Amino acid sequence: MDSPYILPGGPGKPLFPLGELVVTSAAGDALPNVDVAHAIRQHLVGRWGDLSEEDRAANERAVRNGGPIHSSYGSTNGIRFWVITESDRSATTVLLPDDY
CB–CB of 80/11 below 8 Å?
A: no
pLDDT for position 72: 98
Per domain, the residue ranges of the chain are 20-99
pLDDT for position 3: 39
CB–CB of 40/83 below 8 Å?
A: yes
The rounded distance, in Å, linking the Cα atoms of 82 and 75 is: 10
**pLDDT of 8-58, one tens digit each?**
445 678 999 999 999 999 999 999 999 999 999 999 999 999 999 999 999
pTM: 0.88
* Cβ-based burial of 46 (10 A; exposed 0-12, middle 13-18, buried ≥19): buried
Q: How confident is the model at residue 5 (pLDDT cuts 50, 70, 90)?
A: very low
pLDDT for position 100: 86
pLDDT for position 11: 61
